[in-house]
Amino acid sequence: MKNIMTIIRRELGSTFTSAVAYVFLVIFLALVGFFTFMIGGFFLRNEADLSSFFFWFPWLFILLVPAVGMRQWAEERRQGTLELLFTMPVSVTEAVLGKFLAGWIFLGIALALTCPIVFTVCYLGDPDAGPVVTGYAGSFLLAGAYLAISGMTSAFTRNQIVSFITSTVLCLLLVLIGFPPVTDLLLKWGAPAGVLDFSADLSVFYHFTGMQRGVFDLRDIVYFLSLMVLALAVTGIALKNRRG
């Protein structure tokens, strides 16, 4: 645990000493506000809820989270510091967890900075606290799943752009596979009900939507955690093979 905490402090320190982190936060908050109030028509809906706020996270995270995770290992390989890291008394598992948790904490900070939107809704009305809590929890888990996938693609290449594009495509597929227009199209083509249920079970959109509406289902949490564990395991295997 000591090694993991050391890596987390190192990663967060390097993140917040770079202007890129602050540019990311500004862009993220600007996009969230724009999609919530302008595209989502928050004031036109005349309802004191955050559905138009949480709805956009699966789509915004597709581009923003890979921008955070693409450099986790690709940058280490490009600079030649990955081999140096492996010479230190740190296991591959500790390195993977440390880098992932540092990125996840950074994304959690970005989510926490959106609280003024919640305060705005509370000022204008009396929203139900349940969907707000589960919506933020689902958003945090969703960000972690995307980040784990981005770190996995970063472990296979030294090119950050390749990592970004690959992880973006993978995250997009995980959304579209359960997106209602896509499932309706599959149903129109005569896909069996079992195929539709399977595609929904694989989709982050399906599991996130339930939490967005205030439904606390253990299966949704297990789904996101399973995605993280799987992606982190693949990352660890890829790095161990390179270390070997």
Q: What angle do CA 121, 125, 129 make, to 5 degrees?
A: 70
pLDDT at 232: 94
* Tokens representing residue 62 in the block: 């597709």
Q: Return the domain boundaries, the chain.
A: 2-243
How many Cα atoms occupy the beta-carbon half-sphere of 42 within 13 Å? 22
Q: How confident is the model at residue 80 (pLDDT cuts 50, 70, 90)?
A: low
Q: Are 101 and 4 in contact (CB under 8 A)?
A: yes
pTM: 0.89
Q: What angle do CA 139, 140, 144 make, to 5 degrees?
A: 115
33: enclosing H helix or E strand: helix 19-33
* Alpha carbon distance 101, 12 (integer Å): 10
* Alpha carbon distance 102, 26 (integer Å): 19
Q: Are 144 and 62 in contact (CB under 8 A)?
A: no
* Tokens representing residue 207 in the block: 């599991």
Query: Residue 193 pLDDT more than 70?
Result: no
* Tokens representing residue 49 in the block: 């809820």
Q: What is the DSSP string of 107-168?
A: HHHHHHTTHHHHHHHHHHS---HHHHHHHHHHHHHHHHHHHHHHHHHHTT-S-HHHHHHHHH
In tens, the pLDDT along 118-169 reads 888 887 777 777 888 898 999 999 999 999 999 999 888 888 888 899 999 9
Query: Residue 175 pLDDT more than 80?
Result: yes
In tens, the pLDDT along 5-29 reads 888 988 888 888 888 889 899 999 9
Q: Are 158 and 77 in contact (CB under 8 A)?
A: yes
* Alpha carbon distance 121, 239 (integer Å): 45
